[in-house]
Amino acid sequence: MAAPPPGRCGRVEQFINNAWVRAPQAAAQAQALGGAARTLPVVNPHDNKNIGAVGAGDRAMIDDAVRAARKGYKVWSATPGRERSRVLRGIARGIERRKRALAELETLDAGKPIEESEWDIDDVSACFDYYADRCDEVFGDKAYAEEDVKLPMDEFAGRLRREALGVIGLITPWNYPLLMATWKVAPALASGCAVVLKPSELASLTCQVLGDVCVEAGLPPGAFNVVTGRGDEAGAALCAHKGVDKISFTGSLQTGRIIMSACAKDVKPVSLELGGKSALVIFDDCDLEKAVEWALFGCFWTNGQICSATSRVFIHERIREKFLARLKEAAEAIPYGNPLVKGCRLGPLVSEGQYKKVMKMVERAKRKGYTLLTGGKKPSDPDCREGFYLEPTVFVDVPMDAEVWREEIFGPVMCVKTFASETEVVAMANDSDYALAAAVITDDLARRERMTAAFDTGIVWVNCSQPCFAQLPWGGRKRSGFGRDLGANGMDKYLHQKQVVTYVSEDPFAWYPMFDAKPNSKL
């Protein structure tokens, strides 16, 4: 499938207050720029060709979006849960109707294999449906949630009231552009919050379409806004804005530190889902073919650009040689190339910058003499010559202090080590600055339970790697961040809790006998 002509993809306007607004709006700024909006190119990572542009939003556009969100919040937060639920379901149906178009945009923008993009779009609509259910269940006919709390003194009645937190700034990554945004947008809207979304400048196209879907579904003006632009401009302005009540971010550790520091100035709450360097532990009682497939999927899915990628693989010494031989054979057979072609399982990295970063890490590992089982270079296929491709790459027995072993690579690069005992492998698996996820493959039921308890992570997979469901919370520990997306409690970080205590006794409180006392009386 040929790439679309330049200009087809993206909008240079920003989605604010249910309308597309060209930036900059200020007359002086517009005159200085010749009346044209500042833009960022949209590049197809398959062939490095420009296929369009999006707006380069700045502080002024963020200010407009936040102002609209504050007005939208007043309306949306007062809307009963049942009505909010209806709108969320409308968004889900709008996503379903656009599934093919959204999947193609995602693939053109981020390089994801088309079938993976289609899976992601299915998950987007399912996530909106899930939070529509939660919204109906938690709020019902009210705009807020409320429950009675039994207090130890009968003279008082206690209630816990949960209300929408306010205007939420969302900053999302490029590896799952629309899905990662949805993980935050759906529960925030379900809670009654208004949203300003700043998607990654490397992949914004499907997030722009979400604006049109929200209008179609009946979301009131200002409840959802999208400002595209650079992180150090639009993202920084969003974090610093005093009209934003909370920031929720998914992305790199380095950017997370910057965002946390920016929010600290105003003591603004922040949720961070950062990087990972997840372990996959394979015991010798496994089904070898299944283990190899999960190892490949766990590391090379989404072109290896997954924060939870199980890129540190531990294989029991008794099956080392068989496993490595089959892993090499299977890795070299992974279909790669144009991600718009059905059957592709490994596409390009998202951008030239990301490609160069990953290749530098691979080259440094090769120069250090680490054993390269397979890959480590751009494919020779002419169809991949201009794009940002890297063969599935596997290093074996690298030192545990090696860069490729300890640092998040965010590319199709796996490292394999051997272990002898359960105690040994638990210590090695937990020896990481990150603690997002871990996985174990074994047929031993008791061992599964021991490993599940022993992993120091927020997520554990048993006999699989990477499944994710809206019904379960997602997030990690240590440098993988704090806070959780998804799950039954996924709305909690977008709600604030208010205690309400009422004195219900008909008798005076009798702090002192005030009606019998004389002025300035002393004991």
Nearest to 55 by CA among 95, 10, 100: 10
Nearest to 196 by CA among 68, 366, 365: 68
How many CB atoms within 10 Å of residue 452?
A: 14
CA 513, chain centre distance (Å): 60
CA 269, chain centre distance (Å): 17
What residues pair up with 438 in beta bridges, in sequence order?
A: 279, 460
Write phi, then psi, for 85 (nearest 5 degrees). -60, -40
For tokens 């005076």, the residue is 508
> Does 201 participate in catalysis according to the annotation?
no
Provide the 3-class DSSP secondary structure of residue 13.
coil
Q: How far is CA 156 from CA 161, 162, 414, 497, 509, in A?
A: 16, 20, 60, 19, 11
Q: Considering the candidates 116, 273, 391, 422, report the single residue annotated as catalytic.
A: 273
What residues pair up with 16 in beta bridges, in sequence order?
A: 19
Nearest to 149 by CA among 496, 500, 491, 504: 500
Phi-psi group of 446: left, alpha or beta (phi > 0 → left; psi -120 to 50 → alpha; rest → beta): alpha
For tokens 């400002």, the residue is 227
Per-residue tokens: 141 = 């006919």
Alpha helices in 147-252 (DSSP H): 177-191, 205-217, 236-240
Per-residue tokens: 288 = 């070898």
By annotation, the residues acting in catalysis are 273
